[in-house]
Structure 1
Amino acid sequence: MLLAVDAGNTNVVFALVEDGEIRARWRIATDPRRTADEYAVWLSQLLSLEGYDRSAVTAVIVGTVVPRALHNLQVLAGKYFKAEAVIAGQGGAEWGFQLDVEEPGSLGADRALNMIAAHARHEGDLIVIDFGTATTFELVDYSGAYKGGIIAPGINLSLDALVTAAAKLPRIAISAPESGSVIGRNTVDQMHIGIYWGYIAMIEGLVARLKAEVGRPLKVIATGGLAVLFEKHTTVFDTIEPDLTIQGLAMLWQRSQQGN
Structure 2
Amino acid sequence: MLLAIDIGNTNMEFGVFDKEKLIGSFRLGTNREITSDEVGLFTSQFFSINNIDRRQIDDIIIASVVPQVMYSINNAMKKYFYKKKPLVIGDNLFLKIKNSYDHPAEVGTDRLVAAIGAYHKYGGPLIVVDFGTATTFDAIDQEGAYLGGAIFPGVKISMEALFQKAAKLPRVELLKPENIIGKNTIKSLQAGAVYGYVGAVGNIVNEMKQELGGSATIIATGGLAKLIGSQADLFSHIDRSLTLDGLRIIYEDYKS
For the aligned pair, the TM-score class normalised by the smaller chain equals over 0.9
* Counterpart in the other structure of 2:239: 241
Partner secondary structure for residue 175 of structure 2: coil
Amino acid at match of 1:244: L
Aligned partners of 2:188, 2:32: CA distance in 1, in Å?
A: 37
**How do 1:124-143 residues align onto structure 2 when only pairs under 5 Å count?**
124-143=124-143
* Counterpart in the other structure of 1:153: 153
Aligned partners of 1:123, 1:252: CA distance in 2, in Å?
A: 16
The question of whether the paired residues in 2 share the 8 Å contact of 1:88 and 1:252 is answered with no
The question of whether the paired residues in 2 share the 8 Å contact of 1:119 and 1:140 is answered with yes
Amino acid at match of 1:9: N
1:109 Cα deviation (Å)?
1.4
Aligned partners of 2:217, 2:16: CA distance in 1, in Å?
A: 29
The question of whether the paired residues in 1 share the 8 Å contact of 2:60 and 2:85 is answered with yes
The answer as to 2:68 corresponding to 1:86 is no
Gaps of at least 5 residues in structure 2 are none
Instruction: Evaluate the alpha carbon distance shift between residue 232 and residue 3 of structure 1 in structure 2; reply closer, same or farther with a 3 A threshold.
Output: closer
Amino acid at match of 2:204: L
- Runs of at least 4 residues off by over 3 Å: none
* Counterpart in the other structure of 2:16: 16
Aligned partners of 1:9, 1:124: CA distance in 2, in Å?
A: 28
1:251 Cα deviation (Å)?
1.1
Question: RMSD over aligned Cα, in angstroms?
Answer: 1.3
The question of whether the paired residues in 2 share the 8 Å contact of 1:134 and 1:153 is answered with yes
* Counterpart in the other structure of 1:28: 28
Count of residue pairs the alignment pairs up: 255
**How do 1:1-260 residues align onto structure 2 when only pairs under 5 Å count?**
1-81=1-81, 82-91=83-92, 93-179=93-179, 181=180, 183-258=181-256
The question of whether the paired residues in 2 share the 8 Å contact of 1:138 and 1:150 is answered with yes
Deviations 1:15-42 (A, max 9, x none): 1111111111011111122111111111
Aligned partners of 2:58, 2:44: CA distance in 1, in Å?
A: 14
Q: TM-score, normalised by structure 1?
A: 0.94
1:186 Cα deviation (Å)?
2.7
1:178 Cα deviation (Å)?
1.1
Amino acid at match of 2:88: I
Amino acid at match of 1:249: L
Aligned-residue identity in percent: 36
